[in-house]
């Protein structure tokens, strides 16, 4: 149980274009999902907390107009990287937890490369 599916697993896009990443909880409902970014040989850095039916909460230094988060249902959150630039190239991972418990379950991650 507690499976989180993330799509796509990798994407290459041109500078200036937008990319959408989907995160789904397959066998549970997630009122809250978390988006992390991981640069090579670094740790996971929380970008934002996605709340179903309300606005996302962004961490300091993360541009909300650049990283658009939508959490329209209890099983789906999306992250759109708008006007992507090479410095946005990274590993993006979503996660969710069962309501009322702490363990985070991670998606497989999306490797974004901006050329």
Partner 1 sequence: GENVEQHPSTLSVQEGDSAVIKCTYSDSASNYFPWYKQELGKRPQLIIDIRSNVGEKKDQRIAVTLNKTAKHFSLHITETQPEDSAVYFCAAIYGNKLVFGAGTILRVKS
In whole angstroms, the minimum distance from the beta carbon of 36 to partner 1 comes to: 8
Interacting span for partner 1 (CB under 8 A) from 16-24, 67-75, 78-86, 102-110? 102-110
Secondary structure (3-state) at 84: coil
Is the alpha carbon torsion for 50, 9, 82, 72 positive or negative?
A: negative
Q: What is the DSSP letter of 95?
A: E
32 sits near partner 1 (criterion: CB under 8 A): yes
Residue 6 pairs with which residues in a beta bridge?
A: 23
When the beta carbons of 38 and 82 are compared against partner 1, the nearer one is: 38
54 sits near partner 1 (criterion: CB under 8 A): no
Cα–Cα distances in angstroms (integers) from residue 100 to residues 10, 35, 106, in the given order: 31, 19, 17
Tokens 């959490």, residue located: 71
Alpha-carbon torsion angle 70, 71, 73, 76, nearest 10:
90
Interacting span for partner 1 (CB under 8 A) from 18-26, 62-70, 78-86, 99-107? 99-107
42 sits near partner 1 (criterion: CB under 8 A): yes
When the beta carbons of 15 and 113 are compared against partner 1, the nearer one is: 113
Contact residues: partner 1, CB under 8 A: 32, 34, 42-46, 49, 93, 95, 102-109, 111
């Amino acid at each position: 149980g507690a499976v989180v599916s993330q799509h796509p697993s990798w994407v290459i896009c041109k500078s200036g274009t937008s990319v959408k990443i989907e995160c789904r909880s397959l066998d549970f409902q997630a009122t809250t999902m978390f988006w992390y970014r991981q640069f090579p040989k670094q740790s996971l850095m929380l970008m934002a907390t996605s709340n179903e039916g309300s606005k996302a909460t962004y961490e300091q230094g993360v541009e909300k107009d650049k990283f658009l988060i939508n959490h329209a249902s209890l099983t789906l959150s999306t992250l759109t990287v708008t006007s992507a630039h090479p410095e946005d190239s990274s590993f993006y991972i979503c996660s969710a937890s069962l309501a009322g418990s702490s363990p985070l379950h991670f998606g497989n991650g999306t490797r974004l490369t901006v050329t």
